[in-house]
Amino acid sequence: MGSFRRLVLLLLLAFGQPLHAEQLRLALYGQRDEISLRSDSAEIDTRVSLLGLTINGIYTPHLEASLDLGRSWLTQSGSPATQGMELSGQFVGVAVRVWPLRGSHLDAWVQGDYGVYSFSGSSSGQKTDIDWYDGGLSAGLVAHLGMVDLHAGARHGSLSGDEIASGAMSYTRSIRLEDKNSVWVGMELHVDQSGSIGVWFENGSHRGVSLRFAHRY
């Protein structure tokens, strides 16, 4: 975990620049995902819960950069090394988003992102650590309808990592997400000029829902 903390510190230093952007947007969110991880020849149903904070620096109307970090929890079905465990850990990610289209009724964006996730758990003398890296490219549309924004988009990503078990079962296995594509839709309500509440639904490689509270400074 020391190496993970050092990575978080390095990313905070590298992405300190959003704090000097023209505008700053903070978003607190909760997210629940279901994914199917491939470990050797087995498909492992995996459920991930995230509680995170996104720091979004807005440099121009057409360019943004963000830092994403928080706590994570994981449970699985079909894996003896995590049977009966709720693994917990941290995650951190960075993203750069470009808006080629800005209009009064419709916006379009493209984004590159990269994240690191770490989980650890133990039960009855068995300890298991799961770490993975997830990078991807996304594109989306935002339709403005008064106080409500409608969101839709798609992502192509690549997730891979390791599962390290020690105790009654001891091994190191590679894990990956074979389905690389997901789509989502969402709705965001602007409660005032600077604050919003949004909900997003995702399907494909990631299947889940997220609730987000954001404020622009």
List the domain boundaries for the chain.
2-216
Predicted confidence at residue 74, as pLDDT, reads 97
- What is the rounded CA–CA span in Å between residue 130 and residue 118? 6
Predicted confidence at residue 125, as pLDDT, reads 85
Closest by CA position to 115, among listed 53, 173, 60, 159: 159
Predicted confidence at residue 147, as pLDDT, reads 95
User: Rounded to an integer, what is the distance from CA 180 to the centroid of its chain?
Assistant: 14
Residue 182 carries which side chain, given as an amino acid letter? S
Residues 6+ apart with CB under 8 A from 217: 23, 24, 25, 26, 194
Predicted confidence at residue 78, as pLDDT, reads 83
Predicted confidence at residue 129, as pLDDT, reads 95
Q: What is the DSSP letter of 61?
A: T
Predicted confidence at residue 159, as pLDDT, reads 96
Q: What is the DSSP letter of 81?
A: G
Please list the rounded mean pLDDT of every run of 10 residues in the chain (217 residues): 55 55 89 92 91 92 92 92 92 94 96 94 90 96 97 97 90 92 97 94 96 94
Predicted confidence at residue 81, as pLDDT, reads 87
Residues 6+ apart with CB under 8 A from 152: 140, 141, 183, 184, 185, 186
CATH entry, 2-216, from 1.10.10.1150, 3.40.1360.10, 2.40.128.90, 1.10.3720.10: 2.40.128.90
Which run of H or of E encompasses 11? helix 2-14
Predicted confidence at residue 34, as pLDDT, reads 96
User: Rounded to an integer, what is the distance from CA 87 to the centroid of its chain?
Assistant: 17
Predicted confidence at residue 7, as pLDDT, reads 57
Would the CA dihedral through 151, 107, 69, 93 be positive or negative?
positive
Residues 6+ apart with CB under 8 A from 54: 25, 26, 27, 29, 66, 67, 68
Predicted confidence at residue 18, as pLDDT, reads 54
